[in-house]
Structure 1
Amino acid sequence: MRRLLATAGASAAFLASVAAHAAQPVDWQTRFQPPATDIMAQIEWFEVYSLWFIIPITVLVLVLLAWCIVRYRASANPTPSRTSHNTLIEVIWTVGPVVVLLFLAVPSFQLLTAQYTPQEEAKLTVKATGNQWNWDYEYQIEEPLTFNSAMMPDDLEARKEAGKEDLAVYPRLLAVDNEMVVPVNTMVRVLVTAADVIHAFAMPAFGVKTDAVPGRINEVWFKANKEGLYYGQCSELCGKDHAFMPIAIRVVSDAQYSTWLAAAKTDLPGANKALMAEVEGSQPVALAGN
């Protein structure tokens, strides 16, 4: 029994530590992924804040509808009322919604302003180009680094070759062969476009989502404050394999990023394996809730 409790405790501690370092969808999910940026934390706060208005209003409307259906049904009112208006009621249902909308509008505009006004200049710019059905990433640095990122196949041999057999860390339909790698606590600008049809670049844990439109460049930014492996997907219907176009971003320390970048310029698969070995040896990065 003691051994069982100790094992359960160790597993709980492991999951708790892991949950702070990664984010991916989970079965029967009803909430957002754990925020990995300040913007996403604000979005999560605003969602909870707005529910304090939405739920009472929904309940009130439901109660009023039920009351009207029962109280003013034909059998209870053979002679219907001919009341045409009520000044007090009209004032209440005019002023009330205006006040509620003001309470929602002010924090909403503040959030929109924060989303479109980064507090500092980007230190890293990555161009993400959507293809049917994968992503090209171009690191716009002194010696540009370009690579393709596609969904990891179900083939076990391919997963073993990439060192990604663990489905808890590299889940089916979300894991990719080459993740975008960025340093933690660094402002990253992503220039999003497409090569063929309209796609969408979405990373829920970062609070980022924008269309990828051929011939146009949309700009988003994020500053991840937690190291880990984060998953997103194309969010614009783009063809028969739309559901198989995941996005994976690995957030690492400055030192790990510098080492990976130097090696990736000549040997991307080798750089990825070395980074995975270092990260997974120091801290797990899977099993976070959504």
Structure 2
Amino acid sequence: MKNALMLSGLFAALTSLPAHAQEALEIVGKPTQGKMGFQPPATELARDLQSLDHLILIIITAICVFVIALIGWIILRYNRRVNPTPASFTHNTPIEIAWTVVPIIILVFIGAFSLPVLFKQQEIPEADITIKVTGYQWYWGYEYVDAGFAFDSYMIGQPATGGNYVLTPEVEESLVEAGYSRDEFLLATDTAVVVPVGKTIVMNVTGADVIHSWTVPAFGVKQDAVPGRLAQLWFKAEREGIYFGQCSELCGKDHAYMPITVKVVSEAAYEEWLKGAIEEYADAGTPKSFQVASK
């Protein structure tokens, strides 16, 4: 069984050669040990989301500072020692109006900035490239709808790629052969989604078994993959590089082992990859008997 898994992993590595297409590509979107904050934004959507987050952070920080200062002032000014005879009134109309109106104004202000960002995400533009992504337990399947081919994408180190979810020397060797390092273990996949820079990519997202979620933080996209439903997301990457994501919906025991790898390349590199990918994957879903009969 172990030998069979190793052979299947070797076969997967060899058959995914057209999908590497990352000569000199920089790894841009990945988690960084010991750092806080967002990954570098690679799309307009991601920049909008990060700007909105910074705006809301300023607002909630100001509110927290005001409330803490107000509580501190009340403790010092109206404690039993300083104010032995408490006031007996029960209403203060101006204050009651203020604490009703001011939060409404704040929420309207936040909505004025957040709703356009939400609408931009949800209004799907015309696609330059359409890709259907299907979540499985526990890997992703991709279909390039316009080009007529599909492939599956497994984490390097899964049993299907000759691993066992452990960073062994064999798995590290597979990572290096695929153009990664040991630091990308649990992030890199044997076959990546490849898209051209500056093009509008529309992803049709669904699930085959349970709910998954296709998420790439540097793109500012996250969409649940629900069985029986077809949802959409879009992005336009502005920077070449390698970007990582993860399934972000708890989907079973191996939920942590179904990462996403997207390579953004030049248009010329994409066209070259596309030719090889069509040759490699166009018949991948066709039964062997039909493949033989068609030759």
8 Å contact 2:132–2:205 — kept in the other structure?
A: yes
8 Å contact 2:25–2:242 — kept in the other structure?
A: no
Deviation at 1:24, TM superposition (A): 0.5
> Cα deviation per residue 1:25-69 (whole Å; 9 max; x = unaligned)?
112332111110011111111111222211110111111122223
Deviation at 1:20, TM superposition (A): 7.7
8 Å contact 2:25–2:241 — kept in the other structure?
A: no
Could you tell which deviates more after superposition, 95-104 or 246-255? 95-104
8 Å contact 1:21–1:227 — kept in the other structure?
A: no
Q: How big is the alpha-carbon RMSD for the aligned residues of Structure 1 and Structure 2?
A: 2.1
8 Å contact 2:180–2:188 — kept in the other structure?
A: no
Separation in 2, partners of 1:165, 1:225: 22
Structure 2 portions without partners, runs of 5+: 1-23, 158-166, 282-295
**SS in structure 1 at match of 2:121:** helix
Asked if 1:150 is matched to 2:154, the reply is yes
Deviation at 1:264, TM superposition (A): 1.6
What aligned pairs does 1:140-289 form with structure 2 within 5 A after superposition?
A: 140-142=145-147, 144-153=148-157, 154-161=167-174, 163-164=177-178, 166-167=180-181, 171-267=184-280
Could you tell which deviates more after superposition, 71-80 or 224-233? 71-80
Deviation at 1:108, TM superposition (A): 0.9
Could you tell which deviates more after superposition, 28-37 or 121-130? 28-37
Separation in 1, partners of 2:150, 2:121: 27
Separation in 1, partners of 2:150, 2:70: 60
- Which AA in structure 1 matches 2:265? V
- Which AA in structure 1 matches 2:187? L
Match of 1:43 among 49, 73, 85: 49
What is the TM-score when the length of structure 2 is the normalising length? 0.78
Question: Which residue is 2:77 aligned to?
Answer: 71
- Which AA in structure 1 matches 2:277? A
> Cα deviation per residue 1:220-268 (whole Å; 9 max; x = unaligned)?
1111111100011000011111111111100001111111111122336
Separation in 2, partners of 1:252, 1:35: 16
Task: Report how many residues are paired.
Answer: 248
- Which AA in structure 2 matches 1:213? V
- Which AA in structure 2 matches 1:64? L
8 Å contact 1:192–1:217 — kept in the other structure?
A: yes
Question: Which residue is 1:11 aligned to?
Answer: none
Asked if 1:122 is matched to 2:118, the reply is no
Separation in 2, partners of 1:233, 1:161: 20
Structure 1 portions without partners, runs of 5+: 1-17, 269-290
Deviation at 1:92, TM superposition (A): 2.0
Could you tell which deviates more after superposition, 145-154 or 246-255? 145-154
Separation in 1, partners of 2:224, 2:264: 23
What is the TM-score when the length of structure 1 is the normalising length? 0.79
Separation in 2, partners of 1:104, 1:247: 32
> Cα deviation per residue 1:254-289 (whole Å; 9 max; x = unaligned)?
111111111122336xxxxxxxxxxxxxxxxxxxxx
Separation in 2, partners of 1:53, 1:178: 43
